[in-house]
Amino acid sequence: MAKKKTAYVCNDCGTDHSKWQGQCSGCGAWNTLQEFVVSAAKTPARSASLGGYAGSAGQNGIQRLAEVDLAEQPRFSSGMQEFDRVLGGGLVPGSAILIGGHPGAGKSTLLLQTMCNLASQMSALYVTGEESLQQVAMRAHRLGLPTNQLSMLSETSVEQLIHTLQQHKPAIVVIDSIQVMHVEGVESAPGSVSQVRESAAMLTRFAKQTNTVLLLVGHVTKDGTLAGPKVLEHMIDCSIMLEGSGDSRYRTLRGIKNRFGAINELGVFAMLDSGLREVKNPSSIFLSRGEEASPGSVVMVIWEGTRPLLVEIQALVDDSHQGYPKRVAVGLDQNRLNLLLAAMHRHGGIHLGDQDVYINVVGGVKVNETSADLALLVAALSSFRDTPIPQDTIVFGEVGLSGEIRPVPSGQERIREAAKHGFRRAIVPKANAPRQPIEGMQVIAVDKLQQALEAI
């Protein structure tokens, strides 16, 4: 009988422990250790299943850093410009890409469209472990996709899958999903920390050593983070999230990690009956405003990856009928909302301590940068005084705790993007004011919060 041993693995960082303990010694997280049983006798078989690939990395010679070839990694297009943008310019042979998202966000639809288009140019294999081949075929038929060239496989065993890949040698492979794959040497249920870690490690190693593009579908937890061990995100080269609520037709593809391009890049898609379609001008869908200006509505210019994006921010300030006024922020950090309201009270003389404040970024966009600070306060002031802001006005800038308006990156590019969309007035940080006048655009440069509120 094979000798077994018990190990405890941290769900956040993947650190192994010989016994259970309350706090992980690797990352310091509490109550994240999970127990699993490993069969020591089957461990060598996992390396043998790779057909000699497991030990090939040690045969490479040592090179000096100056001798490393600096030639740019070859890429090929996925067939979707928005997808290529998030990937950093296209798919790189030998890369491992993890695509996460909530159920129903469109992960399988996006990859099925991509694979059907690429199958006419190269050998492509779609591996499904959650759905039957008939279900995938019915979706492709409903979307009107070309199905003649794409190869399909229903498999959940990593060893059997790698054996098949060695025989057929596809250029690009989709695994849907990594949570259902399992390795024979690990005696735990598919989707557990150990199974996800071992499965991803074997598949990623195979992709690196055969120059195969590997696309992994990953599930997310209820708080929106990728399910499985945190070490999964360290193994892969690119991690992207497909975001979007079920009641919205728009989906945003956001880059979280990318070894071959910029992070925080954003791609926008529309979910239609025919599948996901690219949105070439994302600013247009987030600026679908009414003909008349309304209080509490302001347009700001945020920077996503390598391009500016015009987004509307709305605020509702109302008398509070409870002992503790509410502070609700959708699409923004709620802690920063409290910080900014305190700064406006101290340096702008606007007291909202007895008011409920609700902030919403239109279109479901999540804003992570500080350039929305000034627009948030302007929108709150507009709603508080029931005075609309002219619709041809944009606002952006970071607000400091001492009341100063700090500059933001790529300020002049943001102003030019707003001018292209017909905006004629901009309230921006003084350091972001363009040296040369922009035709048709009146720029109001401010360096104090009080000056910005007076300009409004």
| Cα gap 406→114, rounded to integer Å | 42
Residue 62 belongs to a domain: no
Kindly state whether residues 96 and 36 are assigned to the same domain.
no
H/E segment holding residue 84: helix 81-87
Kindly state whether residues 164 and 25 are assigned to the same domain.
no
Q: What is the pTM of this model?
A: 0.75
- The segments of the chain whose pLDDT lies below 50 read 1, 39-58
- Please count the structural domains in the chain: 3
Final residue belonging to a domain, choices 245, 280, 315 = 280
Kindly state whether residues 306 and 276 are assigned to the same domain.
no
| Cα gap 327→314, rounded to integer Å | 14
What's the pLDDT score for residue 8?
81
CB 275 within 8 A of CB 109: yes
Buried-state track 292-313, b at ≥16 Cβ within 10 A, e below 16: eeebbbbbbbbbbbeebbbbbb
Kindly state whether residues 269 and 300 are assigned to the same domain.
no
CATH number for the domain that contains residue 380: 3.30.230.10
| Cα gap 372→378, rounded to integer Å | 10
Amino acid at 39: S
The tokens for 304 are 């996503």
| Cα gap 398→298, rounded to integer Å | 15
What's the pLDDT score for residue 47?
42
What's the pLDDT score for residue 313?
95
Tens of pLDDT, residues 183-233: 988 877 787 778 888 899 999 999 999 999 999 998 877 666 666 666 788
Final residue belonging to a domain, choices 244, 259, 280 = 280
Kindly state whether residues 247 and 294 are assigned to the same domain.
no
Kindly state whether residues 434 and 325 are assigned to the same domain.
yes
CB 100 within 8 A of CB 241: yes
The full length of the chain comes to 456
Residue 311 belongs to a domain: yes
Q: What is the dihedral of CA 377, 381, 387, 389, to 10 degrees?
A: -10
| Cα gap 185→43, rounded to integer Å | 6
Burial of 448: CB neighbours in 10 Å, binned 0-12, 13-18, 19+: middle
What's the pLDDT score for residue 226?
66
Domain with 39, as residue range(s), is: 1-44
The tokens for 362 are 């239109």
Kindly state whether residues 97 and 216 are assigned to the same domain.
yes
